[in-house]
Amino acid sequence: MSQHKPEITEGTPVRVLKWDGQYTGTVVRRDGDTVFVAYHDSCVEDDMGIADVEALADPTPEESAWRGGFGIMSADGGWDIVPVHQEG
């Protein structure tokens, strides 16, 4: 019996297989068989092949809403990751 895999489009939370499935992110853009992923709780984005990701089976609301982040220096001199908010 074949298992249906959800289509991966912009806004799909995914597990990144190319890093042994250790990281997750949200697809912020897709161009053919290339996806651009904003890693969760990070200011890093990466492009990779569609075969390098799989849709998360049960993403949290935070994972579903994530569209990337940026780093800011905190008052104690460390770094904090602040999520990017999109209107709409």
pTM for the model:
0.78
* Measured distance CA(73)–CA(88) in Å, rounded: 28
Query: What are the structural domain ranges in the chain?
Result: 13-83
pLDDT tens per residue across span 43-74: 888 999 999 999 999 999 989 888 888 788 88
pLDDT tens per residue across span 22-45: 999 999 999 999 999 999 988 888
* Measured distance CA(9)–CA(1) in Å, rounded: 25
